[in-house]
């Protein structure tokens, strides 16, 4: 049976919220812009009146004002937008538990299993639209389809406050004439590349030989081909706006320069314990490990590598970090500072593919061990339990990046009250 | 940052918080400084107020036989200016 996927997109999100809260500007062209003093003075969002003058998101304020001299420029109020994003998610949650946020203003919903209760995708989409309008005072456009890619394209087709259904019967008429650049993951570079081969629409991508796309664009070529043909079967992953935290990392300038692999290994243990503990605290696992190394000449580089499985265990992080380091550093100079970061985060309670050839029991044991260490440290202090390897060197072993707050990534958005 | 909306009146409200978590407004102090008794709450739902510019839980209240909307937005009450 086909899935039923909704993509819900809050129209002109920041600008709509501002217009709701400022009735006096509703009939004027409005742009929500970053702070010019902090060198963030670009257009973040605009309403339809501003859009009509040709203003684009990402433009600098003075450019926008040239196009539209009476533009009303408003600073962003992120806590308020975050609150609205949560309100929308509460509405979605009435229809399904499978909601995947894509930024603050977009989300995919898998309502396949909710149809006997709430009616088909179109009915649910329309109900969500009505509720968002009544309960939040802003509008959404909803795309309904059998995969995430088409659902997203659908939500873009009619704005504001509309539902667009893209089915197996009509997708060739609806999706294929669209420019290739509308497809998710087709950026400027890919678009240009495709245009060189005379591939301009999504239909062109769909009807190009898959092997040709693969040879010219790499594995993404195949992915795009599948997207364009409606073969995308990526699941809607239940996750929240908390994944706005994109990575968790620590870096440290060590008390003395590091000179050997053992030194570096020790620091990676220290860092990975801190990073892993924080990932567990926030309920994340990472799929990629990134290390940053800066030597005594202040030359620095960053490399990253994929893990075999998502993890939030310090042993896994440290092993990967050390492997990356060995592969990329030749010890021409001693090292001054070092960083470790877990990226490509996903929620820790996501289902996971077990491996036939790995020792799952050992992994579970390791997980229990690290959780126990967390608990011991919480009760008796950080240095109550330590790796033996760290006892070799008092200076390096006694670093506690977690509590010393060397670099602590905090979520961009803080829980805030209304102004 | 301030949102100054002349149609949004923040008001003082007396309310009962029930042990089961429920909440019922009893009276509020109007713009004229007078306290108005809420005879009955006829409807409670999440709603936006386009006029006042805000969203919250909207209590439809019977006051002197007229319907009045009270909005609980986060931890403040407001009503729409008549």
What number does CATH give the domain A245-404? 3.30.1490.100
- Are A1-170 and A176-228 equal in CATH topology? no
Q: Where are the domains of chain B?
A: 8-80
- ipTM of the modeled complex: 0.92
Report the pLDDT value the prediction gives residue A134, as an integer from 0 to 100.
Answer: 97
Q: Do A419 and B48 touch (CB under 8 A)?
A: no
The rounded mean pLDDT for chain B is 94
User: Residue B72 burial by CB count (10 A; 0-12/13-18/19+): exposed, middle or buried?
Assistant: middle
Report the pLDDT value the prediction gives residue B42, as an integer from 0 to 100.
Answer: 96
Q: How many CB atoms lie within 10 A of CB A302?
A: 13
Q: Which residues of B touch A24 (CB under 8 A)?
A: 5
Q: Which residues of B touch A135 (CB under 8 A)?
A: 45-48, 55
Q: Which residues of A touch B1 (CB under 8 A)?
A: 75, 77, 419
Instruction: Kindly report, residue by residue over A371-388, the tens digit of the pLDDT.
Output: 899 889 888 888 888 888
Report the pLDDT value the prediction gives residue A416, as an integer from 0 to 100.
Answer: 31
Report the pLDDT value the prediction gives residue A94, as an integer from 0 to 100.
Answer: 94
Report the pLDDT value the prediction gives residue A414, as an integer from 0 to 100.
Answer: 30
What is the C-alpha to C-alpha distance for residues B82 and B36, in angstroms, rounded to an integer? 15
Does position B47 have pLDDT exceeding 70, yes or no? Answer: yes
Cβ pairs bridging A and B (under 8 Å): 48
Q: Where are the domains of chain A?
A: 1-170, 176-228, 245-404
Residues forming beta bridges with residue B62, ordered by sequence position: B40, B67
Report the pLDDT value the prediction gives residue A107, as an integer from 0 to 100.
Answer: 94
H-helix or E-strand containing A257? strand A247-258
Distances (CA, A) of A66 to A31, A75, B49, B76: 13, 19, 34, 40
Our CA-based measurement puts residue B43 at a distance from the nearest CA of chain A, in whole angstroms, of: 14
Cα Dmax for chain A: 69
User: Residue A330 burial by CB count (10 A; 0-12/13-18/19+): exposed, middle or buried?
Assistant: exposed
Give the best residue of A134, A138, A140, A419 to mutate against chain B (max B CB count within 10 A).
A134
Q: Do A135 and B7 touch (CB under 8 A)?
A: no
Our CA-based measurement puts residue B50 at a distance from the nearest CA of chain A, in whole angstroms, of: 6
Report the pLDDT value the prediction gives residue A135, as an integer from 0 to 100.
Answer: 97
At the fourth CATH level, the homologous superfamily of domain A176-228 is: 5' to 3' exonuclease, C-terminal subdomain (1.10.150.20)
Q: Do A134 and B48 touch (CB under 8 A)?
A: yes
CA angle at A242 for the pair A220 and A102, rounded to the nearest 5°: 40
Q: Is residue A167 within 8 Å of A146, Cβ to Cβ? A: yes
Q: How many CB atoms lie within 10 A of CB A415?
A: 8
Q: Do B1 and A20 touch (CB under 8 A)?
A: no
Report the pLDDT value the prediction gives residue A241, as an integer from 0 to 100.
Answer: 47
Our CA-based measurement puts residue B70 at a distance from the nearest CA of chain A, in whole angstroms, of: 14
Give per-10-residue mean pLDDT for chain A (419 aa): 95 96 94 79 92 91 93 92 93 92 90 94 97 97 96 95 96 95 87 93 95 89 93 81 69 84 90 89 88 85 88 92 92 89 83 76 88 89 83 74 44 30
Give the best residue of B48, B73, B75 to mutate against chain A (max A CB count within 10 A).
B48
What number does CATH give the domain A1-170? 3.30.70.270
Report the candidate in B56, B71, B66, B82 with the shortest Cα–Cα distance to residue B10.
Answer: B71
Q: Do B49 and A419 touch (CB under 8 A)?
A: no
Our CA-based measurement puts residue B29 at a distance from the nearest CA of chain A, in whole angstroms, of: 22
């Amino acid at each position: 049976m086909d899935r039923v996927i909704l993509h819900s997109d809050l129209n002109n999100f920041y600008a709509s919220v501002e217009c709701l809260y400022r009735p006096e500007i509703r009939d004027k062209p409005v742009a929500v812009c970053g702070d010019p003093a902090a060198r963030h003075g670009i257009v973040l969002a605009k309403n339809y009146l501003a859009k009509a003058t040709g203003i684009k998101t990402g433009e600098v304020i003075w450019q926008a004002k040239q196009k539209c001299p009476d533009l009303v420029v408003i600073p962003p109020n992120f806590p308020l937008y975050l609150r609205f994003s949560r309100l929308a998610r509460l509405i979605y949650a009435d229809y399904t538990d499978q909601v995947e946020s894509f930024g603050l203003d977009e989300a995919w919903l898998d309502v396949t299993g909710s149809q006997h209760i709430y009616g088909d995708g179109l009915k649910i989409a329309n109900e969500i639209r009505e509720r968002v309008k009544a309960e939040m005072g802003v509008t959404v456009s909803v795309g309904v389809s059998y995969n995430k890619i088409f659902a997203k394209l659908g939500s873009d087709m009619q704005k504001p406050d509309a539902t667009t259904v893209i089915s197996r019967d009509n997708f060739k008429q609806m999706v294929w004439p669209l420019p290739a650049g509308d497809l998710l993951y087709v950026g400027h570079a890919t678009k240009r590349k495709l245009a060189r081969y005379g591939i301009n629409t999504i239909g062109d991508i769909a009807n190009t030989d898959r092997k040709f796309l693969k040879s010219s664009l790499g594995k993404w070529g195949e992915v795009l081909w599948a997207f364009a043909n409606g073969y995308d079967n990526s699941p809607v992953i239940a996750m929240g706006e908390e994944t706005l935290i994109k990575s968790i990392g620590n870096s440290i300038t060590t008390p003395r320069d590091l000179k050997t692999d053992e030194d570096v290994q020790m620091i990676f243990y220290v860092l990975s314990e801190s990073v892993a503990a924080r990932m567990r605290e926030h309920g994340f696992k990472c799929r990629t490990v990134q290390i940053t190394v800066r030597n005594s000449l202040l030359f620095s580089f960053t490399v990253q590598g994929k893990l075999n499985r998502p993890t939030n265990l310090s042993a896994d992080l440290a092993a990967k970090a050390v492997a990356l380091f060995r592969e990329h550093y030749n010890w021409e100079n001693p090292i001054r500072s070092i960083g470790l970061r877990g990226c490509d985060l996903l929620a820790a309670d996501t289902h996971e593919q077990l491996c036939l050839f790995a020792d799952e029991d050992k992994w579970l044991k390791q997980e229990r061990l690290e959780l126990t260490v967390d608990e011991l440290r919480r009760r008796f202090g950080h240095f109550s339990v330590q790796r033996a390897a760290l006892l070799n060197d008092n200076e390096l072993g006694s670093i506690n990046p977690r509590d010393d707050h060397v670099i602590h990534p905090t979520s961009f958005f803080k829980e805030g009250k209304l102004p | 940052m301030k949102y100054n909306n002349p149609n949004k009146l923040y008001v003082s409200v007396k309310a009962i918080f029930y042990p089961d978590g429920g909440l019922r407004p009893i009276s509020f102090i109007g713009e004229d400084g007078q306290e108005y008794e809420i005879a009955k709450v006829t409807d409670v739902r999440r709603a936006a107020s386009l006029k006042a510019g805000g969203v919250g839980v909207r209590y439809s209240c019977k006051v002197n036989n007229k319907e009045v909307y009270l909005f609980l937005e986060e931890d403040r009450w407001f009503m729409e200016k008549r």
